[in-house]
């Protein structure tokens, strides 16, 4: 079993870190630069920064904020939100991002994945997939979960892999912010059908949820927000517990 990763996520709206439930009812969670610094000290393996209103508002990710966050980090840093072209990725990487995450733009133009992989390499390109169950099927959603599509989660994930993406960040909209655990059945299927890493997102509420997503969901990494932002779970304690369960983790 490869070493698993713990990844705090900074959802950014209007320059502040926010967190909601099922993609709505957002509340303030603090200054992103201060939070990034804290997670570096606490032992996070990576950090994800998602400007959640960038696509909806049709503007670019806040490059200056990315720069200020990246200045405080030595761990890998992924940036997403409003990224839709080669020049967007170039700006983020020049401002300190190690990887970029694309979502809505990739669904609307799948060839964008090929283009970005050819230019920057698979290791730089993460495809985020937001999905929820509709009539028993996982359907991909766009624009921060506001626009439903007929696209099947598993079909899209396989296409993303074929086009060269380095990893997938799967967020279950049904589980997001509920703190009832990750979508482990869907995660296990993704992990079985794909050869690239799958990051679990949506539903973390307590340490056993992380244990389950690694052992039952076969996730390669687990991403969470509010439980870390509001200090409901300490990363150091979480990692010690994972280690005691025999899950390989960087201590």
Residues 6+ apart with CB under 8 A from 246: none
In contact, 54 and 104? CB cutoff 8 Å: no
Residue 110 is assigned to a structural domain of this protein? yes
pLDDT given at position 35: 84
Instruction: Indicate if 130 belongs to the active site.
Output: yes
Q: Count structural domains, the chain.
A: 1
What are the tokens at 2? 């490869």
pLDDT given at position 58: 42
In contact, 177 and 197? CB cutoff 8 Å: no
For the segment 192-206, the average pLDDT, to the nearest whole number, is: 96
pLDDT given at position 25: 44
Distance CA 237, CA 148 (A): 38
pLDDT given at position 57: 43
Residue 205 is assigned to a structural domain of this protein? yes
By the 10 Å C-beta count (0-12 exposed, 13-18 middle, 19+ buried), 97 is classed as: buried
List the domain range (segments joined by +) for residue 111.
Answer: 5-244
Instruction: Indicate if 220 belongs to the active site.
Output: no
Residue 67 is assigned to a structural domain of this protein? yes
For the segment 198-202, the average pLDDT, to the nearest whole number, is: 96
Q: Which residue has the tokens 């010690």?
A: 240
Residue 101 is assigned to a structural domain of this protein? yes
Residue 10 is assigned to a structural domain of this protein? yes
How far out from the chain centre does Cα 142 lie?
Answer: 14
pLDDT given at position 63: 83
Residue 249 is assigned to a structural domain of this protein? no
Residue 250 is assigned to a structural domain of this protein? no
What are the tokens at 111? 């060839």
Cα dist. 173→26, 142, 146 in Å?
14, 11, 11
- Which member of 130, 176, 212, 220 is catalytic? 130
In contact, 106 and 127? CB cutoff 8 Å: yes
Domain holding 184: CATH number?
Answer: 3.20.20.70
pLDDT given at position 24: 47
For residue range 141-155, list pLDDT tens digits in order: 987 778 889 999 999
Residues 6+ apart with CB under 8 A from 70: 77, 95, 96, 97
For the segment 43-68, the average pLDDT, to the nearest whole number, is: 75
Is 200 strand, coil or helix? strand
In contact, 158 and 140? CB cutoff 8 Å: no
């Amino acid at each position: 079993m490869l070493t698993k990763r713990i990844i705090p996520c900074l959802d950014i709206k209007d320059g502040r870190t926010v967190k909601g439930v099922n993609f709505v009812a957002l509340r303030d969670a603090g200054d992103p630069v201060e939070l990034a610094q804290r997670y570096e000290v606490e032992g996070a393996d990576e950090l994800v920064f998602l400007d959640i209103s960038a696509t909806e508002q049709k503007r670019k990710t806040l490059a200056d904020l990315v720069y200020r966050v990246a200045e405080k980090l030595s761990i890998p840093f992924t940036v997403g939100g409003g990224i839709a072209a080669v020049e967007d990725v170039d700006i983020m990487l020049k401002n300190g991002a190690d990887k970029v995450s694309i979502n809505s733009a990739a669904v609307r133009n799948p060839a964008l994945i090929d283009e970005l992989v050819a230019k920057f390499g698979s290791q730089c390109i993460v495809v985020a997939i937001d999905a929820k169950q509709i009539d028993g099927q996982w359907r991909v959603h766009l624009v921060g979960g506001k626009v439903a599509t007929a696209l099947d989660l598993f079909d899209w994930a396989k296409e993303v892999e074929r086009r060269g993406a380095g990893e997938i960040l799967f967020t279950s909209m049904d589980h997001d912010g509920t703190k009832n655990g990750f979508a482990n059945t869907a995660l296990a299927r993704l992990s079985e059908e794909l050869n690239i890493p799958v990051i679990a997102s949506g539903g973390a509420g307590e340490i056993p949820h992380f244990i389950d997503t690694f052992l039952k969901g076969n996730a390669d990494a687990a991403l969470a927000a509010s439980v870390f932002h509001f200090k409901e779970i300490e990363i150091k304690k979480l990692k010690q517990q994972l280690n005691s369960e025999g899950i390989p983790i960087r201590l």
